[in-house]
Amino acid sequence: AQSVTQLGSHVSVSEGALVLLRCNYSSSVPPYLFWYVQYPNQGLQLLLKYTTGATLVKGINGFEAEFKKSETSFHLTKPSAHMSDAAEYFCAVSEGYGNSGGSNYKLTFGKGTLLTVNP
Amino acid sequence: NAGVTQTPKFQVLKTGQSMTLQCAQDMNHEYMSWYRQDPGMGLRLIHYSVGAGITDQGEVPNGYNVSRSTTEDFPLRLLSAAPSQTSVYFCASSYRSYTEAFFGQGTRLTVV
């Protein structure tokens, strides 16, 4: 069964500082990995995703994440935080199951990390 | 560009009442799902569907029913509301497992 662990429910950084949000997963098969962002009173929107190929993926708003299979990690980074980055961030893993070649799957989310950016 | 539309946005129910949360998508996505979001718990999967006529249970299905009679619609039914079902509910859809999930704006449900 797949699971997602986000280390740190709350991360606080200064404006201009490095943002690092940690995500580890467990999966019995190579997963698809995602980071979503949720601004207050809104739904979730995709930041970036890893499916296959290059392990360093770039997303919107200057975020990027690196898939490290040996560490089962998919940490999210941004070199310089901006006030507008303040939001809740969710790591998610999608894993296929069953006999239908992965056409059945579940998307499992971590518990989220609230990012605050201090002026 | 409607995307995923959820109604209503807010709802207050009394314990024991029933209601249906509506979800519709206009992107011809096969996969649709319902999540509930509670503080410190992230998003937990309630039910999901991989196509019309096919549904399955997620992590927290008790107290909820779903059906998928068309590709576009995936309603979530609360048969007898309980205070423990106070939460924010999100509907999502995606084309494939490795493609972006699109989320509705959420329904904030309070059961008193």
A1: pLDDT strictly greater than 70? no
As given in the structure block, the two tokens for residue B33 are 């799902």
Angle at B20 between CA B17 and CA B21, to 5 degrees: 125
Taking the CA of residue B93 and the nearest CA in chain A, the distance in Å comes to 11
Supply the pLDDT for residue A96: 67
Return the beta strands (E) in A69-103 as ranges: 73-78, 87-97
Quick check: B40 and A110 CB within 8 A? no
**Phi and psi torsions of A84, nearest 5°:** -70, -10
Confidence of residue A52 (pLDDT cuts 50, 70, 90): confident
Question: Taking residues A49-63, what's their average pLDDT?
Answer: 92
Quick check: A106 and B58 CB within 8 A? yes
- Using a CB-CB cut-off of 8 Å, the residues of chain B touching A105 are 31, 50, 97
Confidence of residue A51 (pLDDT cuts 50, 70, 90): confident
Supply the pLDDT for residue A101: 44
Distance (Å, whole) CA B36 – CA B41: 9
A54: pLDDT strictly greater than 90? no
Distance (Å, whole) CA A23 – CA A93: 10
In this prediction, the residues of chain B whose per-residue pLDDT falls under 50 are: none
User: A79-118: buried (b, 16+ CB within 10 Å) or exposed (e) per residue?
Assistant: eebeeebbbbbbbbbbbbeeeeebebbbbbbbbbbbbebe
Question: Taking residues A62-72, what's their average pLDDT?
Answer: 94
Which residues contact residue A53 at a Cβ distance below 8 angstroms, ignoring those fewer than 6 apart? none
Taking the CA of residue A87 and the nearest CA in chain B, the distance in Å comes to 13
Q: What is the CA radius of gyration of chain A?
A: 14
**Phi and psi torsions of B74, nearest 5°:** -150, 80
Supply the pLDDT for residue B96: 77
Residue at A92: amino acid letter: A
Supply the pLDDT for residue B97: 66
Half-sphere exposure of A45 toward its Cβ, with a 13 Å CA cutoff? Answer: 10
Supply the pLDDT for residue A103: 54
- Using a CB-CB cut-off of 8 Å, the residues of chain A touching B27 are none
Supply the pLDDT for residue A100: 47
A63: pLDDT strictly greater than 90? yes
Supply the pLDDT for residue A106: 77
Per residue in A22-42, pLDDT (tens digit) is: 999 987 677 889 999 999 888
Distance (Å, whole) CA B78 – CA B65: 7
Measured CA to CA in angstroms, residue A1 lies from A17, A45, A90 at distances of: 36, 25, 19
As given in the structure block, the two tokens for residue B100 are 């972006």
Supply the pLDDT for residue B16: 97
Residue at B84: amino acid letter: S
Per residue in A72-112, pLDDT (tens digit) is: 999 999 999 999 999 999 999 987 665 444 456 678 899 99
Supply the pLDDT for residue A102: 45
DSSP codes of every residue in B30-83: SEEEEEEEETTTEEEEEEEEEETTEEEE-SS-TTEEE--SSSSB--EEESS--G
Quick check: B104 and A44 CB within 8 A? no
